[in-house]
Amino acid sequence: MRISKSKVVSGVQCLKRLYWQVHAPELGAEPDAATEAIMEQGREVGLLARQLFPGGVEVCSEGGLDQAIRATRELIANPQVPAIFEAAFEHDGVAVRVDVLHRRRDGRWRLVEVKSSTSVKEEHLDDVGIQYRVVSRCGVDIASVCLAHISRNYVFDGGSIDVRRLFKIRNLTRRVQRLQPKLTFQLRAQFTVLNMPTVPDIKPGKHCTDPVTCEFFDRCNPSLPDDHIGYLPRLHASAEEELEEMGIESIHDVPDDFELTEIQRRAATCVQTRQPWFDSEPLKTELASLKYPICYIDFETINPCVPRFAGMRPYQQIPFQFSVHSQHEPGAKPEHCEFLALDSSDPRHDFAASLCNSLGENGSIVVYNQQFESQRLSEVAAYLPEFAERIANIQARLWDLLPVVRNHVYHPAFAGSYSLKTVLPALVPEMTYDGMTVSNGQDAGLAWESLVHGGLDSDERDRIVKALRAYCGQDTLAMVSLLEKLKSATEAS
């Protein structure tokens, strides 16, 4: 049996995941658009990293692994080849492809793994560790083992990407060498499990999502009943384990004297009574602080690993869309305005100008999770100082609906979550994101990328533009409706 490096890493996370990957891969969920976008980003970063090693030669994948292994041997034997990309090796049933094998002046080799993360993570050690094990046991003299990752400190100047500043190369040789005895034990366990007639019995836990969400997650983690203790807000794992040891899985059975936070106890009471809770007087005080005209805003952004516009860092957010609903007096029908960038040029200036004009200089500005919008505004102001004063005015007027809901409202259908996508259908059931072409921020980012880079025909462009506007507009209209619901609740009390 021969397994790849990625399967070895999967086995380190969970032996059941490895078993299914090898023996029943069809049981796993297909990668969604977001996962494929992350993979494409990784490929983009990998190609950029090759520029650090001019003259390098890629080992072709055509012809299968055995052909790639032979081609790798030939390139290693050729002293004129300074670096090899996707070098292929196999030892004791484990096959690896190395991002970069760099020939040093003394004839020894440096093994370099490329990651799109901004730091070295624990799971990266398993990745490079298995590569070092296989390559060195194939007779290649490895002088050092390194990981090239993205530098958070890199600032794009708007010209060509400077790969020597974009990447940090970390020497992990000693850590990888110390890992080898553990890897020997893990590999032995993995091949033992793979030769078993049935899948190993491993209970679900943190490993189902750490370091990545397993593609077989749903098979091990069936949907929980609506009253499960896991839906208590921010319930610590130790508290959940304590309840389970007491034989308690339903919120209805949680004892009155069991230690819970105020918010958790409130949620438990709502589930047990099947009634929503509104803290009327404090809620009324919060709502009374709003000043007309009231504007409701929502931003959509992307955060590419490789910065695209001058002044940007890796993973910095690019705001490409906003929606604003505004009310000039109580009970007035909300007016709507919006912005959506329609091409791949830097949208920040037009975004800022349109937003400032839409929000005016007076009144409250309602958001859901103020930190996100405020941080995006700070980033735009830092790059476009001509808008700094007007943006500071906007930030001073922000009014965050999230803590108001979290501190003064609970509904059994929240299921422990205070996200807008959960709160809205619980309190305003006539409004829903179900069936929308774009139904969350991740979808919005992917849709916008396809809009500005996809070479779409006019009909498809129109469809995506319509979907993006509908989604972002729904987010702000949702806050209008939520606020009206909260006002009605306080008046009814």
Q: Residue 492: is its pLDDT beyond 90?
A: no
Mean pLDDT of 363-375: 97
The pLDDT assigned to 117 comes to 97
What integer is the mean pLDDT of 164-181?
98
pLDDT band at 493 (very low <50, low <70, confident <90, very high): low
> What's the length of the chain?
493
Note whether 194 and 19 are within 8 A (CB): yes
Three-state DSSP at 282 gives helix
Do 3-194 and 282-492 come out as alike in CATH topology? no
Give which of 278, 273, 238 is closest to 258, Cα–Cα.
238
> At 484, which helix (H) or strand (E)?
helix 458-492
- How many CB atoms are closer than 10 A to CB 30? 8
For the segment(s) 282-492, the CATH number from 3.40.50, 3.40.1350, 1.10.10, 3.30.420 is 3.30.420
What is the pLDDT averaged over residues 223-238?
94
For residue 262, count CB atoms less than 10 angstroms from its CB and return exposed for 0-12, middle for 13-18, buried for 19 or more: exposed
How many other CB atoms are found less than 10 A from the CB of residue 68?
Answer: 21
Q: How much is the pLDDT for 144? A: 98
pTM for the model stands at 0.92
For 444, the 3-state DSSP assignment is: helix
Q: What is the per-residue pLDDT for 455?
A: 83
**3-state SS of the chain: helix, strand, coil percent to 5?**
50, 15, 35
| List of residues 6+ apart from 89 with CB closer than 8 A | 69, 72, 95, 96, 98, 134, 135, 138, 140
Dihedral sign computed on CA atoms, order 406, 318, 46, 30? positive
- pLDDT exceeds cutoff 80 at 454: no
d(CA 44, CA 30): 22
Q: Are 380 and 351 in contact (CB under 8 A)?
A: yes
Q: What is the mean pLDDT of residues 310-323?
A: 97
434/196 Cα distance (integer angstroms): 43
- Residue 40: C-alpha distances to residues 44, 152, 380, 437 (Å): 6, 20, 27, 22
Task: Give domain limits for the chain.
Answer: 3-194, 236-274, 282-492
Q: How far apart are CA 492 and CA 198, in angstroms?
A: 59
> For residue 340, what is the enclosing H or E element?
strand 335-340
386, burial (CB in 10 Å: exposed 0-12, middle 13-18, buried 19+): exposed
Cβ atoms within 10 Å of 371's Cβ, excluding its own: 11
* Span 221-229, average pLDDT: 94
DSSP state of 25: G
Question: Phi, psi (5° rounding) for residue 413?
Answer: -75, -5
DSSP labels, 159-206:
SS--HHHHEEEEE-HHHHHHHHHHHHHHHHHHHHHHTSSS------SG
Return the percentage of the chain with pLDDT > 90, whole number.
97
pLDDT tens digits, residue range 323-348? 999 999 998 999 999 999 999 999 99
Grade residue 294 by pLDDT with cuts at 50, 70 and 90.
very high
Please state, in angstroms and rounded to a whole number, the distance separating the CA atoms of residues 75 and 89.
13
Q: What is the rounded average pLDDT for all residues in the chain?
A: 96
Cis peptide preceding 225, ω within 30 of 0? no
Architecture in CATH of 3-194: Alpha-Beta Complex (3.90)
Percent of the chain predicted with pLDDT > 70? 100
pLDDT at 344: 94
270 C-beta neighbours (distance < 10 Å), count: 19
* R_g over Cα of the chain: 27
In this prediction, residues 387-416 reach a mean pLDDT of: 97
92-111 residue pLDDT tens: 999 999 999 999 999 999 99
Is 145 in a helix, a strand, or coil? strand
pLDDT digits (tens, 9 = 90+) for 39-97: 999 999 999 999 999 999 999 988 899 999 999 999 999 999 999 999 999 999 999 99
Residue (of 168, 164, 127) closest to 53 by Cα position: 164
Section 2-17 average pLDDT: 97
